Every structure is written in structure tokens, then in C-alpha cells.
Amino acid sequence: MKSERLRALLPDVWALMRPRRGLLLIGFFLMVINRLAGLVLPASTKYLIDDVIAKHRHDLLLPLVLAVVGATALQGVTSFSLTQLLSKAAQRLITDLRKQVQAHIGRLPVTFHDSHKTGVLVSRIMSDVEGIRNLIGTGLVEFAGGLLAAVVVMVWLFFISVKMTVVAIVVLLAFSGVLWKAFGSIRPIFRERGKINADVTGRLTESLGGVRVVKGYHAEAREESTFGAGVQRLLDNVLKSLTAMSIMTLSATVLLGIVGAVVMYIGASQIFAGTLTLGGFVTYTAFLAFLIAPVFQVVGIGTQISEALAGLERTREVMRERPEDQDPNRTVSLGPIVGNVEFEGVTFAYEAGKTVLHDINLTARPGTVTALVGPSGSGKSTMIGLVTAFYKPVEGRVSIDAVDLSSVRLDSYRGQLGVVLQESFLFDGSIAENVAFARPDATEAQVLEACRIARVDEFAENFPMGYDTIVGERGVKLSGGQRQRVSIARAILADPRILILDEATSSLDSESEAIIQQGLSYLMRGRTTFVIAHRLSTIRRADQILVVEGGRIVERGTHATLYSQRGRYYDLYTKQHGVESNLFLAPGEGDSVEVESLR
Ligand code: ADP
């Protein structure tokens, strides 16, 4: 990681550590005690050999052994408390961060979600956050403790033999330089790994989620090769870092050999010359390990920290995105609305320069049904997206009861909005939970009432578990019509002022169709309804039909007036349904005729 990027991350690292600085300090303190206690055993060896054994000082043996036992006990206790304190704190940190990142991502605007793969976001929440743990866990503290022990030991080593120590330190410093360089080359590999991981998981989530489409188009082999290529990239990345790591281990081994040989040579010469005792020599070799340990630790800790920083950087990217409700323009809190929706000169583009809606003007009065019809890609869903405030107009304004929607706090608005989509979205939960989704505080009686109106009761009560039947991921165990009934019940329970309907294009059998129509008519009553309409019955019943083409409203009026105008609507309509024999059927009659699509 380049140093300026590292610097940019420091405030975030500090923000994570700050609330836990007391804990980290205690951890460090414990680590110091732990390391110093660890020095007692090798240090006592010198006294054992040179004083107790060589000079036959029986009286010193017991105190020395007791000191070693005490120090070992201290080491045990401190290392246990360290794990308890720091590792647990690190796990709590992950949990907190995951909650934060998930909450944040959930509040980001639809435009953000439109341009980010689900799987990538999942990996932001789960894996990247996991990496950050290393900043708080035992790793850093252990490294700091190791460094401190090394410094203490170094002073000691100088006392025993200046010559040996100077040589050892020179070799170690040279090696640290090599390691530092090597790390510079590994870090980008780690950063890359996180990205590849997210890409691969992202694609995998999509292909598993869309398993029906994959199978339908017999595209299993293509998905296999896409996934294969993804994991291959991951493998290449891991292999690259493994090579770098093994070069490090190799040079570390060589280093140990060199230092060992040098110490052996100088140490033996000094013993011959009488400037070093045998005990001093044994202690020296034992201590040397303490000096070398941090150099090795750098390898492990460096990897962890690289991972942590890379994870932090990616998490930070997401956290910098502004949640929709933090928009400073959204200041108006709506009370209960009547539901008068108005578009005034609305122009919209997803990408600058590519206008999707041109100068749209419309009024949807409370309690009326506005049907949007027109070919695919004409802009119907985009208009709906503006009503739900997923998007903001580029020009003009969308208003609710004369309040500009772009100034409205979303929490005060969306609660009064109900949505029933083509692909009825059911969660992995019970039927009752799915119905109560929009109003978790609803009483059982209210849920049952909504289910009765939407005719969910007819099938739910036949299941052995009744309303507690789990509908599986996306409600796979329910038929299309049953899923729609559940989502109609959900909307009835939510009792929204404004209702958005995206009618299914797929046909249902005429009985289910009739049941769903009844549910929908109940649902639409007294609300401002926008419907992307495909069903004849809905279109006939609409108070106004807007014919959308190329992002413009080309015709508007009721079925009867538009039909008699013989314009675009007439063309679209007769292409699908032939010329109508009785134009003035009462709404509801002829409902069983399925409008395949006006597209
Ligand atoms: P309809 O609902 O009538 O089928 P849409 O409103 O979905 O049409 O699309 C209108 C136009 O906007 C199309 O040209 C489509 O390609 C484009 N479009 C839709 N969604 C997006 C998006 N998220 N980003 C960019 N362009 C989009």
C-alpha cells in the first residue's frame, strides 16, 4: 500500500482503536509481563550452569527453580487473559462493524444498488470486515510485545558478548531490509485478492439465484467456466503470494544458519580465550531466539495487517457513500398523506446525456387508478421509480400533496407506500411473517383478515402448518398465483395511501386470475394506484391510461376514449386483442381474458 493511501487510512484505524485504547493498553501491559516472564527461563540457565552447578551452590537451586516456576505461571496467566481480552474484543468489533456496514448498505439509494453486485456487497459485509479484526486482535500487541522483549534481550546480549551481538544485529538488520522490500510486493497481491474474491462470490450469488434461467437456457457449462476462470484467478493470486512467502521463509532459514554459525564460531573462540563462560554461551543462544522472533513475526503480522488495511479500505469506500435519507435537501417530514401525485415537466436520465423520460406531466388524484401501458423500455418502470423516490427528476418535479418529493424525508413517505411486484418477493419465512412484513406489529387478527381478503386462507389453511408454513427461499414452494396472493395480503395489511402494482405478464389460469383480480380491486379501492398494466381488466378499470413511448406520454384517457380515438392505444390494443365487439363492457366483465402483454 502506498504511503499516502496508508496515511489516508490512519484516521479510520484510529477511529477503530480509540474506543478500545484502554483495552489495547492493558493488552500491551499484559504482553510486556508475559514476555519478560518468558525471559526468566533462559536467563536462569546461565546461573544454573555457571553458579549453581559449577560452584556447587545447592542453596541457590531451589530459589532458581521457584523463580522459573513462578515466571512460567505468570506467563500462562497473562497469555490466557490476553486471549480472553483481545481476541474477544476483536470478535465483538467484527460484529459491530458488520452491523454498521449492513445497516449502511441497506440505506444506500437504489442507484447504488443498481450499480453494485449483491455478492460483492455480501463480501463487503462479511469478509472485508473479518480482515479488520487483525488490527485489534492479539497480532499487533503480540508484535509490540515481541519487539520490546527483543530490545531488552539485546541489552543483555551486549553484556554477554559485544562482538557476537554486533554481528548478529548486522545480519538481522540486513534481513529486515529484505523483508520490508518483499512485503511491498506482497501487499498489492492481498489487495487484489479481496477484489477477486468479491467478484467471484458476486457472480456465484447471481448464478445460483438465477438457477432457473441458467438451466432454462442450458447455460450450466458457461457458468461453470466463468466460475472456473474466477477461482483460477484466485488460485494464481494465492500462488503468487505463496511464492513470495516461501522466498521469505527460505531466506529466514538461511539467516538463522548464518547467525547460528557466526555465534558458534565467535562463542567457542571466546570460551577458549576465557572471555565467555559456558553458561553465558548457552544463555546467549537461547536469548538469540528472542531477538530473531520479531523479525519472523513481521512476516505473519505484516500479512495480517495488509489484509486488515485492504479490508478497511474497501469498507471505507462503501461507508463513504451517502445514505438516501442523509440528503441535506430532504428536510420535510410528511404527515399522513391524501395521495395526490403530480409530475410537472419531469425529465429523467440514469446516465448524463441519455434522457429516458422527457417532459412528463401527469396528475394522479387520490383514490384513482393510473395505468401505464406501452412497449418494453418505454420508461414505465422509471416513472414508477420516480413515484417511489428511488430516483429524482433531473428537471421538473414530482410532488405528493403538492410537496416536492425530493425534499421529503423518505422514512415519512415510504411508510405510506405499498408495492406489489411481478416477481412477488417472498422471504424465507412463514406465510404469516411474509404477510406481516410491512407491519410487523400487526395483530394476528389483522393478518388473518388480510389473508382472508386476498384469499390466502384458501391454500394456507390446507397446509399442515397453516400460516406458519415456511415458504422457502423466494417462496419456491408456492405457485405463482399463491405468491401473488401473499403479496396482495401484505399490501392490504400495510394499508398504503399510494399503491404501486407491477402486473405479472405471465398468464395464470382463469380461476387464479379471477381471485387475484378480486384481491387487487379490494386493494386499489380508495388509494392512488399506479399500475404497469398488462391485464385487460385492470386497464379497463383505470381512471386514466397513459400510453408511454420513448419516454413520452403519447396518449392519455380512459379505455373508451382512447379506443375510439383509434391512435397508438388502439393499435397496441387491437394488435393484442383484436377489435372489440362490445366497447362498453362494465368493469369486471370479460376479466378472465388474459392480456398477454401490450408489448
Ligand atoms: P419499461 O418499464 O417501460 O420497460 P424502463 O423504465 O425500465 O422501461 O426503461 C426505460 C429506459 O431506461 C430503457 O431504455 C432502459 O434501458 C433504461 N434503464 C432502465 N433502468 C436503467 C438503469 N438502472 N440504468 C440505466 N438505464 C436504465
The DSSP line for 199-237 is: HHHHHHHHHHHTHHHHHHTT-HHHHHHHHHHHHHHHHHH
**Residue nearest to ligand 1 atom 27, measured at CA:** 350
Domain boundary among 268, 287, 322: 322
Domain that holds residue 484: 341-592
How many angstroms does the Cα of residue 552 sit away from the middle of ligand 1? 13
Residue 139 CA to residue 401 CA, distance in Å, equals 58
CATH of the domain at 32: 1.20.1560.10
Instruction: Kindly state the cell numbers that stand for 287.
Output: 536469548
288, 372: one domain: no
Q: Residue 532 — φ and ψ, nearest 5°?
A: -85, 105
CATH of the domain at 410: 3.40.50.300
286, 368: one domain: no
174-178 contact pairs (CB < 8 A, 24+):
175/251, 175/252, 175/255, 175/295, 176/295, 176/298, 178/251
Q: Is residue 327 part of a domain?
A: no
Residue 192 CA to residue 185 CA, distance in Å, equals 12
Q: Is residue 333 part of a domain?
A: no
**Residue 589 confidence (pLDDT):** 41
302, 390: one domain: no
536, 575: one domain: yes
How many angstroms does the Cα of residue 110 sit away from the middle of ligand 1? 13
Q: Is residue 161 part of a domain?
A: yes
**Residue 497 confidence (pLDDT):** 93
Domain boundary among 264, 294, 322: 322
- Enumerate residues 6+ apart whose C-beta is below 8 A from 593: 536, 537, 577
312, 348: one domain: no
Q: Which atom of ligand 1 is nearest to the CA of 111?
A: 23
154, 47: one domain: yes
**Residue nearest to ligand 1 atom 10, measured at CA:** 379
Q: What is the pLDDT of residues 434-472, one digit of tens each?
A: 899 888 888 999 999 999 998 989 888 888 888 888 886
Interaxial angle between packed helices 138-160 and 129-136, expressed in degrees from 0 to 180 and rounded to the nearest 10: 40
Q: Residue 458 — φ and ψ, nearest 5°?
A: -55, -40
**Residue nearest to ligand 1 atom 5, measured at CA:** 379
25, 107: one domain: yes
**Residue 67 confidence (pLDDT):** 92
Residue 433 CA to residue 439 CA, distance in Å, equals 10
**Residue 427 confidence (pLDDT):** 81
**Residue nearest to ligand 1 atom 15, measured at CA:** 377
**Residue 5 confidence (pLDDT):** 67
Instruction: Kindly state the cell numbers that stand for 514.
Output: 379471477
Q: Is residue 597 part of a domain?
A: no
Q: Are 546 and 520 in contact (CB under 8 A)?
A: no
**Residue 190 confidence (pLDDT):** 78
The amino acid present at 417, given as its one-letter code, is L
**Residue nearest to ligand 1 atom 19, measured at CA:** 382
Q: Are 536 and 526 in contact (CB under 8 A)?
A: no
Instruction: Name the domain count of the chain.
Output: 2
Q: Which of 114, 350, 421 best tests ligand 1's pocket when mutated (most atoms within 8 Å of CB)?
A: 350
349, 219: one domain: no
Q: Which of 381, 546, 597 best tests ligand 1's pocket when mutated (most atoms within 8 Å of CB)?
A: 381
Helix (H, G, I), strand (E, B) or coil at 466: helix
Enumerate residue ranges in the chain where pLDDT < 50.
1, 583-599
**Residue 2 confidence (pLDDT):** 53
How many angstroms does the Cα of residue 348 sit away from the middle of ligand 1? 11
Ligand 1: which residues within 6 Å by Cβ?
114, 350-351, 356, 374, 376-382
279, 373: one domain: no
394, 314: one domain: no
**Residue 239 confidence (pLDDT):** 92
Q: Is residue 19 part of a domain?
A: yes
Q: Which atom of ligand 1 is nearest to the CA of 385?
A: 6
Say if strands 544-549 and 369-373 run parallel, antiparallel, or are unpaired.
parallel
If you count them, how many residues does the chain have? 599
**Strand (E) or helix (H) holding 499:** strand 498-502
Domain boundary among 280, 295, 322: 322
Mind spelling out the 3-state secondary structure of 508-575?
CCHHHHHHHHHHHHHHHCCCEEEEECCCHHHHHHCCEEEEEECCEEEEEECHHHHHHHCCHHHHHHHH
Q: Is residue 329 part of a domain?
A: no
How many angstroms does the Cα of residue 379 sit away from the middle of ligand 1? 6
Q: Are 555 and 548 in contact (CB under 8 A)?
A: no
Residue 252 CA to residue 293 CA, distance in Å, equals 11
200, 345: one domain: no
143, 215: one domain: yes
Name the one residue in this structure whose C-alpha cell is 395464470. 508
Interaxial angle between packed helices 480-494 and 510-524, expressed in degrees from 0 to 180 and rounded to the nearest 10: 10
**Residue 593 confidence (pLDDT):** 35
